[in-house]
Amino acid sequence: MENEILNNGVKMPLLGFGTYLLRDGLECEQSVLNALNIGYRLIDTAAAYHNEESVGRAIKKSNVKREEIFVTTKFLPADTGYENAKRAFEASIKKLGLDYIDLYLIHLPQGDVNSSWTAMEELYKEGKVRAIGVSNFNMDQVQDLIKRHRVVPAVNQVETHPFSQKTEMQKALKSQGIQLESWAPFAQGKNNIFNNEPLKVLSSKYNKSIAQVVLRWLIQKEVVVIPKSANVKRMNENFNVFDFQLSADDMEIIKSLDKGRGLIYSV
């Protein structure tokens, strides 16, 4: 598995497994277990997904050593504020059944994010989390957080796909040492992405699915990506993206699809 090195030296897999819409229960547990068996080592969840317990059970049932798994979770605006963020963390780590979290994120830039960040800095310094970051923050919000605090976010997880590429944001984040991470790499199927003509041409050229082409494009752009599927065949397909490389010209073809705005959540 290829990794990105975060601004504190922690290794984060470039390709992970997302669990959004995998509700708590056997489906989620088995999906995460399947992902780990396939070779995924980054598992992304959130308090809002209501599946942290299932994720934790899958990790325990797997034969993968805990230190080899990179676990991300997040808390919501209802839990912002110093004390609330601490309580939210304790609730999440208990549900996950883990001793530490690899990456803890503010899910949305709402509520008292500054007091929340102070709490997260403490969790980080105490070794309860290996890295802290944000999700769905625009650059002004990221910069404000940096100005007010000592620890620079390690990651900003935002909607990133061929129609919303976040190129300028990625440059700005990189200048601050912050890793861009993509959620909804397939745009949740919007803009008829799986029938997009330029992507179909590239799919045929490389003998790969459109999903594989999109994931490979993001990985070559050094964007961490977390596709989600409960279908084992597609999970395997999504993981099989390290045996080919898009040419510079083909990267430009995908670049031309950018609409410069989010289709799901605007930042």
CB 72 within 8 A of CB 40: no
- Which residues contribute to the annotated binding site for substrate? 107
Whole-number pLDDT of residue 24: 85
For residue 91, what pLDDT is reported? 98
**How many domains does the chain fold into?**
1
Q: 214, 265, 226, 233: which is closest to 55 by C-alpha?
A: 226
Residue 252 placed within a domain:
no
Token match 């040492």: residue? 177
Position 155 scores a pLDDT of 98
Query: Which residue positions in the chain have pLDDT lower than 50?
Result: none
250 part of a folded domain: no
| CATH code, domain carrying 112 | 3.20.20.100
- pLDDT one-digit tens code per residue, 28-86: 999 999 999 999 999 999 999 999 999 999 999 999 999 999 999 999 989 999 999 99
Residue 60 within a domain: yes
Query: Distance between CA 80 and CA 64 in Å, rounded?
Result: 33
Dist. CA 107–CA 265, nearest whole Å: 12
This prediction has a pTM of 0.97
Handedness of CA 111, 112, 117, 119 (dihedral sign): negative
Sign of the Cα torsion 235, 241, 242, 243 reads: positive
158-185 b/e (C-beta count within 10 Å ≥ 16 → b): bbbbbbbbbeebbebbeeeebbbbbbbb
Specify the length of the chain in residues.
267
Query: Is position 263 within any domain?
Result: no
pLDDT of residue 195: 97
Concatenated DSSP letters of 167-227:
HHHHHHHHHTT-EEEEE-TTGGGGGGGGG-HHHHHHHHHHT--HHHHHHHHHHHTT-EE--
Residues whose CB is less than 8 angstroms from the CB of residue 144 and which lie 6 or more positions away in sequence, other chains included: none
**pLDDT for the residue numbered 23:** 85
For residue 189, being part of any structural domain is answered with yes
What angle do the packed helices 167-175 and 139-148 form, to 10 degrees? 10
Which pLDDT value is given to residue 267? 76
Q: What's the domain range around 85?
A: 3-193+217-243
200 within some domain: no
**Cα–Cα distance for residue pair 118/153, rounded to 1 Å:** 12
Binding site per annotation, positions: 107
Domain contains 185: yes
Residue 210 maps to a domain:
no
Catalytic residues: 49
| Predicted confidence (pLDDT) per residue in 157-167, tens digit | 999 999 999 99
